[in-house]
Amino acid sequence: MSILDLSPEHRALAETVRSFAREEVAPVIGKLYEAEQFPYELVAKMADMGLFGLPFPEEYGGMGGDYFALLLAIEELARVDSSLAITLEAAVSLGAMPILRYGTEEQKREWLPVLTSGAGLGAFGLTEASSGSDAGNISTTAVVDGDEWVINGGKVFITNAGTEITKLVTVACRTGTQPDGRPEISSIIVPSGTPGFSVAPKYSKVGWNCSDTRELVFDSVRVPLANLLGQRGRGYAQFLNTLDEGRVAIAALAVGLSQGCVDECVQYSRDREAFGRPIGDFQAIAFKIADMETSTHLSRLATYDAGLRLTRGESIKHTAAMAKLYATESAVTNAREATQIFGGYGFMNEYPVARFWRDSKVLEIGEGTSEVQRMIIARQLGVGG
């Protein structure tokens, strides 16, 4: 039995999302991408399909599935378009999952139904202008004043933070200093529209053009003490766990993008002729596609392995980092080679491979850069300091 043998439920889900991506996303995404528009209608359809609730218990409005189901949905979306895939990934893995994992019963009942239905999106604000990889060094502060937290500071590059349907951002804040002198970090839920919380216009990005990415400013933002997510001082451990899970999801996104490159190149290399023959007859092209297929297969194996371990509740720090590192670097290579196979057409935005190329690079950066993944893998082996 192979790790790639999906259960009937997982197979049916993957096929449903594949059909949705091909029939409803592919025809319209190019224009939305060029216009840099958030795809509200497609997101609403994904919500109707239950995708935002996949790994959540039914009592909180979820579908009662597992995290592996989410990975399959992300992979199938990314096979056609990464913006939708990252919108789903960030909403579920970064926005809603921390509330399920660390929230009080009251917080879960208040926030999860709207997030798991997909009617609202949640975001996760960790990165700051001067601390990304060094995320323990954030400077946004939250201090207690009466029965409220008062938050001051800012975040950069936050996904899903400024859409018309964004409901909250979970913000990593310094809430004090630990006895050993290190910052005490806690996570606090800030609902959209809270006075003093402002969202900058969306960035102009190289890729993921239909995904919403914003800079956030917190100017004496007041929220109830009850908006603390989990225990005070546990924010650092929470976001490390959240990022471990998120890395598997980014790996799944990379697998989908790599597979999309193979899909497009197989077809194109049969159709496009040069020197009187289909370009796929040239070994130089056929071998590129063979390499792309091989790295996609290996990326999928690593990702599904990490995903199954995650679903079984095992520690995934090492396997998640390896899956993320290998799958994302392979996706960048595949996107570059796919663009090459398409020749000049590969440089034209109307061709999906051009989008794949633009969307691939950020995979090596978001949710921990390739360098950070190598640090994690090396440290698990007891090397690298």
Residues designated as active site: 367
Distance CA 200, CA 203 (A): 8
Least distance from C-beta 149 to ligand FAD, angstroms? Answer: 19
- For residue 47, the number of C-alpha atoms closer than 13 Å in the C-beta half-sphere is 19
Residues in region 245-274 near ligand FAD by CB under 6 A: none
Give the binding-site size for ligand FAD (rule: CB under 6 A): 23
Whichever of 20 and 157 has its CB closer to ligand FAD, that residue is: 157
SS3 sequence of 303-365: HHHHHHHHHCCCCCHHHHHHHHHHHHHHHHHHHHHHHHHCHHHHHCCCCHHHHHHHHHHHHHC
Give 294's contacts (C-beta < 8 A, 6+ positions apart): none
Stretch of residues binding ligand FAD (CB under 6 A), selected from 174-182, 256-264, 307-315, 359-367: 359-367
The correct pick among 208, 268, 342, 357 for binding ligand FAD (CB under 6 A) is 208
Whichever of 94 and 189 has its CB closer to ligand FAD, that residue is: 94
Whichever of 107 and 127 has its CB closer to ligand FAD, that residue is: 127
| Contact pattern from residue 79 through residue 118 relative to ligand FAD, giving x for each residue in contact according to CB under 6 A and a dash for the rest | -----------x---x------------------------
The correct pick among 32, 42, 367, 373 for binding ligand FAD (CB under 6 A) is 367
**Residue 299 engages ligand FAD in binding (rule: CB under 6 A):** no
Least distance from C-beta 276 to ligand FAD, angstroms? Answer: 44
- The backbone region for 384, taken as left when phi is positive above 0, alpha when psi lies in -120 to 50, beta otherwise, is left
**Residue 169 engages ligand FAD in binding (rule: CB under 6 A):** no
Distance CA 58, CA 53 (A): 9
Whichever of 51 and 135 has its CB closer to ligand FAD, that residue is: 135
Cβ atoms of 150 and 134 within 8 Å: the answer is no
The correct pick among 213, 242, 311, 319 for binding ligand FAD (CB under 6 A) is 213
The correct pick among 125, 153, 183, 256 for binding ligand FAD (CB under 6 A) is 125
- The two tokens of residue 296 are 């996609």
The correct pick among 56, 68, 111, 124 for binding ligand FAD (CB under 6 A) is 124
Give 242's contacts (C-beta < 8 A, 6+ positions apart): 93, 94, 97, 98, 101, 124
**Residue 366 engages ligand FAD in binding (rule: CB under 6 A):** yes
The correct pick among 39, 132, 280, 346 for binding ligand FAD (CB under 6 A) is 132
Give 57's contacts (C-beta < 8 A, 6+ positions apart): 64, 100
Distance CA 19, CA 25 (A): 9
Look at residue 295 and give its three-state secondary structure: helix
Torsion sign over Cα 373, 10, 160, 42: positive
274 phi, psi to nearest 5 deg: -145, 145
The one-character DSSP state at 164 is T
Least distance from C-beta 239 to ligand FAD, angstroms? Answer: 8
Least distance from C-beta 165 to ligand FAD, angstroms? Answer: 16
Stretch of residues binding ligand FAD (CB under 6 A), selected from 57-65, 286-294, 340-348, 370-378: 370-378
Residues near ligand FAD (CB under 6 A):
90, 94, 123-127, 132-133, 157-159, 208, 213, 362, 365-369, 371-372, 375
